[in-house]
Structure 1
Amino acid sequence: MTTHAHTTPDAIAADLLRLDPGYAATPLVALPGLATRLGVARVLAKDEGRRLLGSFKSLGGTYAGLRALARSAGRDVAGLVAARPAGQPALVCASDGNHGLAVALAARLAGAPARVFLHAGVPASRARRIGDQGAEIVRIEGTYDDAVDAAAEAARAGSGLLVADTTDDPDDPVVHDVMAGYGVMASEIRAQVARAGDERPTHLFVQAGVGGLAAAIAEGLAGFLAAPARIVAVEPASAACLEAAMAADRPVRVPGDLHTAAEMLSCGEASAPAIAVLKRYGAQVVTVAEPGLAEAPDILAAHGGPATTPSGAAGLAGAIAALGNPGRAEELGLDAGSRLLILVTEGPLAE
């Protein structure tokens, strides 16, 4: 695996696949029954529950964690993983669950320690999975953003290398590595649509969170979507940090407990690099109330889609909310001829 800044998505994908066969391309599934239910021409769903660790986060957090350790050791990643040298620094991060799991995997592959800061709302089942990778769990009172602050402070104090998926620094190299890993999905989608002979999607509905995933897919699909080529980032109404950031043109920490059924989107401050990318590509934001988030996994499953969580089905929830609001549907150019692309970002959570 290379360590220079401009590795292509295809090269990243090939390098990750050499680490584990679980990095094979995930399915892009056509859901005609769901398209009929929504009143659109076509729905394609990218099933990231089939990815290693059960979510897309294993692309970003693992890739960025390995790159951080490689830079520290003065090696390339392949050499680092082969040697697993003693005395490596710990990888440090905050997480709602999946990013921490991915960073813990990076540490395990390289033979390094990991320390993952989890806020009080992260379920024990998600924490156990991180611990099973060998990471130390540090519980923090408060929200995801409190855990982000605690992890950053620990890293500044010498606890290890910070592998964040969010930052207020537009040039943060680790966050750019995280987003580069996510870009593998966009490369896969382009190839899968071409192989199937499908018409290109007209709309992307993608989970927001801190914005890194939405930005990576927006950039990776630049010039690919058919007209009107709308990019729609979806977030819970109770944790609408991207909406606030896009309006202010900078990260804004939103108040409240950020509680949502879409646990992986319980974020109070968007990431500066993501904001810049999403603004560049004219992305729009849809917020969804809790009932819409909670029912989306059942709607997806009932129409042939993969099993997932409210976080995993949030893109669908955003599409349903937009289609159900005539003014918003018109603003987004949604009609019976629309072809939607949604990302199912994780599989079901085992209790």
Structure 2
Amino acid sequence: MSQVTESAVRSALSRVEDPEIGKPITELGMVKSIAVDGDDVAVEIYLTIAACPMKNTLTTNTQAAVEELEGVGKVSVTTDVMSDQQRRELRTSLRGDAAQPEIPFAQPGSTTRVYAVASGKGGVGKSSMTVNLATALAARGLRVGILDADIYGHSVPGMLGNEDNPHQVDDMIMPPIAHNVKVISIAHFVEGNAPVVWRGPMLHRAIQQFLSDVFWGDLDFLFLDLPPGTGDVAISVAQLVPNAELLIVTTPQAAAAQVAERAGTISQQTRQRVAGVIENMGAMVMPDGSTMEIFGSGGGEIVAERLSTLTGSEVPLLGQVPLDPKLREHGDDGSPIVISEPGSPTAQAINTIVDKLMVRRSSIAGKPLGLGVTRH
């Protein structure tokens, strides 16, 4: 007699997560049926939409989970598509039934670290740093997202090698995933390389929708790749996610440092914390092991010291990333250097910055722990 039971199969399926939502398919109502015939098992699962980009991943993981059961024979997995009603119920279970979705990262109970990556001017490698920091954190098993807030100069999807488009489940936008990082960008909503010609209110609304309408799930880190300078988007981010911390990217060049300082001092108006300064395009490591300071030196230290003085709190220099042509090459081919060449000096410098970002500076001293007291 077969020892494979429906309850055992369902228990195995509880270990299969929907990659986009991050919860077991058994909790999401995605298991349509389980049929056990002797040692053979047939499972039918629901997809949220017919063109679900995670179909192959879901079917493969479902089959693998059931095949691990002792004594199981042939395992077959088929799919069906949720009805409109089922999608509405799924949306309600994930986001509640509020008429207007909230920005989860702005809520008091949010545990997501939000970093707004800023620079005073373009061309300092801000987007490259955003992509590599995010993918380095994801490679460590953390849940990470990137919001490409540079509406006019969007570049993040290309640097991640992402060619997928978002899709909708009811009124939720499900973001594409690349290198285990969730990403959303205006690039997903324009044709080809068409320019975005918007004024300030449109920019604000776009950022608001990306934060509230996109289903990010329970992220550990969210990076917002801001446009250069201190314009509309930087102000909108400060209003929409007031707890977002600023990461200032500069180069060693003194002129670039002066401009980067302006980007950091926006925190005096927005009351955001400056988490630190990243110096990119530092000393280039030559083949013989020597270094060449193409853009000079000291810019990152200058910015960190000046911002510490202006803000009245310590702003650390988180790291100095060497100038490396391969950083650009891997950005162009969609394979971030921290993944493709983890042993390189550039990847090691970025991972040193990641080590510092993972350490919380805030203390729980004086904060309520929410512990109940039971009286006997």
TM over 0.5: no
Quick check: which has more Rg, 1 or 2? 2
TM-score calculated relative to the size of structure 1:
0.29
Return the structure number with greater relative CO, CA threshold 8 A, min gap 6: 1
Point out the structure with the larger helix share: 1
TM-score calculated relative to the size of structure 2:
0.27
Point out the structure with the larger strand share: 2
